[in-house]
Amino acid sequence: MIHFVGAGPGAPDLITLRGKSYLEQADVIIYAGSLVNPALLEYAKEGCQVYNSATMTLDEVIEVMDAAEKDGKTTVRLHTGDPAIYGAIREQIDRLDALGYEHDVTPGVSSAFGTAAALQAEYTLPNVSQSVIFTRMEGRTPMPPKQSIEEFAAHHATMVIFLSAGMLDTLSAQLIAGGYEPETPAALVYKATWPDQKVVRGTVAELAEMGAENNITKTALTVVGWCLGNDYELSRLYADDFSTEFRKAKHS
Ligand code: SAH
């Protein structure tokens, strides 16, 4: 059995109870060493074989899983944040299916939410943004058509931008070219939930200098949108003239 497990954004106590229990049972752990907090490996039992996937190819990862399956062992594939976001799990799952091995996925707290917590932000503020776009800039992985930063910026939704902290000057220019006003609030969160977390607030126009002044070039998310500003409407859910399934309106 192969368990794909979300490690959470960094702080070791942000893994789920299920994820921790799989780590404790695992005979083999393959962890994404570039971003997973190694403190999580302390949950591994004695004799557990531990591999860092940062130095491995897909074929090598599959070989380790294949050998473990042939020995009847349990493997945990530990991915940073939530495995569904830039986790490259699909290519592993397809290979495991071809080999006929069982697998499941345990979700994790994405760094998108570790970052929201660090900012104490609500991404979906009433009348400001009711949608969140998780995206990235084009790097070695090309962006599919109709998914450029400019095209997304036109929506004025909350944007959480991964894998782009090394290209903040271009990011800022593309956001503005797409229609975000230069003064739109923006934040840069480095290593959300880790002890050396940094939170920098500013505007879309200031992103490059926010990064440069704080030496942030990787392991950071950029959040953009007026949800980081101060104008919004109170939610209908808690309004006193609003009835819900659980609560009658106090007045209409
Ligand atoms: N599956 C992960 C994302 C993997 S992509 C998740 O759900 O969080 C790797 C990118 O995620 C990094 O380049 C960075 O942009 C972001 N990232 C991962 N951990 C982070 C953290 N603790 N704080 C800020 N950004 C982080």
DSSP 186-211: EEEEESTTSTT-EEEEEEGGGHHHHH
Kindly indicate the confidence band of residue 12, based on its pLDDT and cuts at 50, 70 and 90.
very high
Q: What is the pLDDT of residue 250?
A: 83
CA separation, residue 251 to residues 92, 239, 244 (Å): 55, 10, 13
The SS3 call for residue 50 is: strand
- Composition of the chain by helix, strand, coil, percent to 5: 35, 20, 45
The finding on whether 111 has its CB within 6 A of some atom of ligand 1 is yes
Percent of the chain with pLDDT over 90: 88
Average model confidence (pLDDT) for the chain?
Answer: 96
pLDDT in tens, 112-154: 999 999 999 999 999 999 999 999 999 888 999 999 999 999 9
The finding on whether 222 has its CB within 6 A of some atom of ligand 1 is no
Q: What is the pLDDT of residue 110?
A: 98
149 Cα–ligand 1 center, Å: 18
C-alpha span between 153 and 175 (Å, rounded) = 6
Q: What is the pLDDT of residue 206?
A: 98
Please give the number of the atom of ligand 1 that sits closest to the Cα of 85.
Answer: 1
The runs of H, that is alpha helices, within the chain are 17-25, 58-70, 90-99, 111-119, 149-153, 168-178, 207-213
81 Cα–ligand 1 center, Å: 7
Task: Select the more confidently predicted residue: 245 or 82.
Answer: 82
